[in-house]
Amino acid sequence: MAELIYDETGRLLFTEEMKREYTLLMPQMLPVHFTMLQQVFELEGYHAVMLTSNHRGIISEGLKYVHNDTCYPALLVIGQLLDAVKSGKYDPHKLALMITQTGGGCRASNYIHLLRKALVRAGYEYIPVISVNLAGLEKNPGFSLNLKLILRMAYSMIYGDILVNLANQCRPYELIEGETDRRVDRWVRQLLAQFPQRGAFRRANVRKNFAGIVDDFASIPVGPRNKIRVGVVGEIYIKYAPLGNNNLEKFLLSENCEPVVPGVMDFIIFKCDNRVEDHLIYGGKTGTYLGAGLLKKYCEGLQRDMIAAIRRQPCFRAPCTFEHIKQLVHGYLGYGNKMGEGWLLTGEMLELIDSGTVNVVCTQPFGCLPNHIVGKGMVRRIRETLPQSNIVCIDYDPGATRINQENRIKLMLSNARLQQQNKEGGPGREYSAVSGAK
């Protein structure tokens, strides 16, 4: 067993010896993106395992170590990790856990401390926890985010975004069941095979991949694209993770809808933009301002290339740029509103409605103050300026029943179908899933 080394604060470090011997467990948030991310860590010499467990016992495990008033994503992530540690699949003396840490005012910055506390209570105080962050919050001798790793992580996210965007536009209409998912799996393998190759991240090669992906998905046999589109926004983990939102996208598909989920690259650019806005509003280190600005510009360039590729095929709807979302939110919220998802959450709702996806599910962990302000708190304001909007806010917590969540979404969908009938000249009266008014 590797020697346990602690820093001056008493934190257990992940050492270079552990890198060679230990298995790193990482929770899943975005299935496609994190599948690629896991392989990126493997290419860097880590033995990483992405957890795909999705059962009720994870909530029970989380409740043993995390107070039920704490952020629901923390309970799920810690529950999933502890469930894996106790599963018997791994030697706990050769395990390390990975978790992201934003460094902002959101409670997500404290997940790592809650996880360490849970490990101590469960008798696994010898398992190190690695903070994955770009803010320099915690450092470990055996783990570092070098430029090559950061680039590979960024490309995992943008490739994941284009694959998920196109898959969501094909899957509800595919004539050959499972064809969309087969294309996704094939492209994930193909892209990962390129990552170690020289020139894999050159702009020309990335654009070529984007074009190839779009053309390939455009060749999937589909029926008429006439289903009700439903946007999904909210707290980042609950919005994306099937474990967090009770397989919301699968439920929407079963309701004969097309899910529309904004990409994660907007959130990454948003975090860079926050540093830039902080400097403009409050001042601060010029180096941080310049570095964040350069990273933002780089990611925006990737996003523009992706959008341009999707626009090549008229059968697909391309997402808008981050700057367009930022312009849309002007007059609703200030750019200093950045806790959690901040103004971006409101901006995503506005962008969805502006682009014709007027039906929106806003997912939120119960008690998440930032989310309730920029999510549920903005619904009335949005409806006043955009009366065609049809938004329902759904709380997710350990005590919330899936049937109640799905029934509330069904109410929103009934309103959407009535609106569709009225557009087509059919009979019916509108019912608001938000206000309950007829």
Query: Tokens for 185?
Result: 């799996």
270: in domain: no
Least Cα distance to 373 among 347, 397, 335, 345 occurs for 345
Q: Are residues 245 and 345 in the same domain?
A: yes
- Of 81, 15, 17, give the one whose Cα is nearest residue 50: 81
Q: Which residue among 80, 108, 143 closes a domain?
A: 143
The per-residue DSSP string of 257-296 comes to: EEEE---THHHHHHHHHHHHHHHHHH---HHHHHHHHHHH
pLDDT in tens, the chain (438 residues): 678 998 989 999 999 999 999 999 999 899 999 999 999 999 999 999 999 998 889 999 999 998 877 889 999 999 999 999 999 999 999 999 999 877 666 666 778 899 999 999 999 999 999 998 877 778 899 999 888 898 889 999 999 999 999 999 999 999 999 999 999 999 999 999 999 998 898 999 999 999 999 999 999 999 999 999 999 999 999 999 999 999 999 999 999 999 999 999 999 999 899 989 988 888 888 888 888 899 899 999 999 999 999 999 999 999 999 999 999 999 999 998 888 889 999 999 999 999 999 999 999 987 787 888 899 999 999 999 999 999 999 999 988 889 999 999 999 999 999 988 887 765 444 433 343 443
Q: Are 112 and 218 in the same domain? A: no
**Dist. CA 311–CA 308, nearest whole Å:** 5
Q: Do 350 and 293 share a domain, yes or no? A: no
Distances (CA, A) of 53 to 29, 78, 87, 302, 358: 11, 12, 11, 32, 33
Q: Judge whether 287 lies within some domain.
A: yes
Domain co-membership, 350 together with 426: yes
Please give the tally of structural domains in the chain.
3
Domain boundary (103, 123, 143) is at 143
Quickly count: other Cβ atoms within 10 Å of residue 15's Cβ.
20
Q: Are residues 366 and 383 in the same domain?
A: yes
